[in-house]
Every structure is written in structure tokens, then in C-alpha cells.
Amino acid sequence: MRELNDVLWSTHTRAEFAGLAAKGAVVVVPIASTEQHGLHLPVDTDCRTVEYVARRAAQMAEDFPVLVAPLIPYGMSPHHLQYGGTISLHVETIIKLLRDICESLIGDGFERILILSGHGGNAQTIGAAAQEMKYTLNREIRACCWFDLIPETWQQVPEGPSKNIGHSGEAETSAIMALAPELVRRDSLMLVEGITDDPARGTPAKGERILSDAVDALLRLLREMHAAPGHDAPGIEMAEEK
């Protein structure tokens, strides 16, 4: 397994990026949200899960290079603004931000970029941004939420009625119990307005399974992207100059 510093964009010097780009490195751009997660989880829950999954998968990619860019901690969360602690961006802000980032990465020679979200509210926005940039920038640019990579896990792990990541319920509570148990307010594990299902069903073991499956699934996707053409792939055409 690679050392963490080997896969973090932020720890490299300017002289090292050209060599990584020449090897076809995949760059993961994590984006999440800062938003309420009930009475028991911190507002950076989505940041913690996506950063862990991205970094761990990058470390496990021993046969090809992966870099994890600095996390974007804000996302599309207007539906949580009525609760305390939520910071939300406009859709157009996210799209412009991602384009600026991707253009910078391409300027450094990188051709394979994955925008990886830890927040379901970002899904449509990052999907549209990635699709447009793939064709206008002529690079292998994709986007997804990490929890959408493990549909089978949601049929096997949750014991409650929710068969997806939910919001601050069984699954997300389990993930934070595994990653940062000291941040879970165990005296407030209750189903309240603004969350989807009962967090009291969460356990560290469930969280470990969910995160492990996500890391494995992401590693497969990254390997697929590394093997794909970085530009001039079938179906990719440069936009005509105007």
C-alpha cells in the first residue's frame, strides 16, 4: 500500500507533477458538503467519508498512480439551510469551481479526472459538469457519489428500512462510528426532523463494511479510468473554436 503522502496532491512539489501526469495518473477531486446531520453527527460528516474513501483507494492503487486533490468542503445543500450549521453553494458556483479546477489539472498535463462526491445533493450538478467538460475539454472526466458504487452493499448491510446511504441514519452513523467514534453524540442517537432513518441502528462494524466495500469499488473505477484513453477517446470530440 502506498504511503498517504504519496497520493496527496498537497504534499508534492511543483517538480513532481509532470512525471505523475506522464504516467497517466488519475486525479480524484473530492467534493462534499458542510451541513446538518441531525443531533448526533458533525456537520463535516460527508467530508470525512468521501475523503477517507478517496485516500484509501488511492493508497491501494499500487500498480498505477492516483492523486487526491484537496477536498471541496461545500456543496449543494439548500434543503438543509433551515437547520443550523449548513453552508450551501449555488449550482452555478459549483460548476464554475469544478471547471476552474479541472482546467488547472489539465494545464498540468493530467487527462483523467474523477469528481467524487460524499453528498447526494451534489449528484446532478457534478454529473452535468463532468459530462460537459468531458466533451468541451476533450479529457476523461467522470463524476459520481462514492455510495452509488456499492448498490449490493445496501441490500446486505442495513437492518432498517433504508436501503441506501440515507441522511444521518443507520448507514452514515455507522460510517462515522468507524472513522471518528469520538464525534458521535451517543446520547442524541434519535430520529428527528431532517434525517432519513433511525441512527440508533448504526454500529462500527457496519461502517467498516460500508467503507471497505466503497474503497474496493472505487479502486476498480480508478483502474478502469487509468486504462481508458485520456483524450480523443471514441465519442469525445473537441468543441469547435469560436
pLDDT tier for residue 231 given thresholds of 50, 70 and 90: confident
Residue-level length of the chain: 242
**H-helix or E-strand containing 113?**
strand 112-117
Q: Is residue 10 part of a domain?
A: yes
Q: Is residue 175 part of a domain?
A: no
Q: What is the CATH number of the domain that holds 107?
A: 3.40.50.10310
pLDDT tier for residue 232 given thresholds of 50, 70 and 90: confident
- Tell me the per-residue pLDDT of 96-131, one tens digit each, with 9 for 90 and over: 999 999 999 999 999 999 999 999 999 999 999 999
Burial class (CB in 10 A: 0-12, 13-18, 19+), 98: buried
Angle 63-66-72 from CA coordinates, rounded to 5°: 160
Name the residue with cell 441514519: 169
- Cβ neighbours of residue 74 under 8 Å, at least 6 residues apart? 32, 33, 34, 87, 88, 89
Number of domains in the chain: 1
- Tell me the per-residue pLDDT of 2-32, one tens digit each, with 9 for 90 and over: 999 999 999 999 999 999 999 999 999 999 9
Q: Mean pLDDT, the chain, as a whole number?
A: 95
pLDDT score recorded for residue 237: 57
Of the candidates 24, 28, 102, the one whose C-alpha atom is nearest the C-alpha of residue 65 is 24
| Structural domain range at position 66 | 4-147+215-225
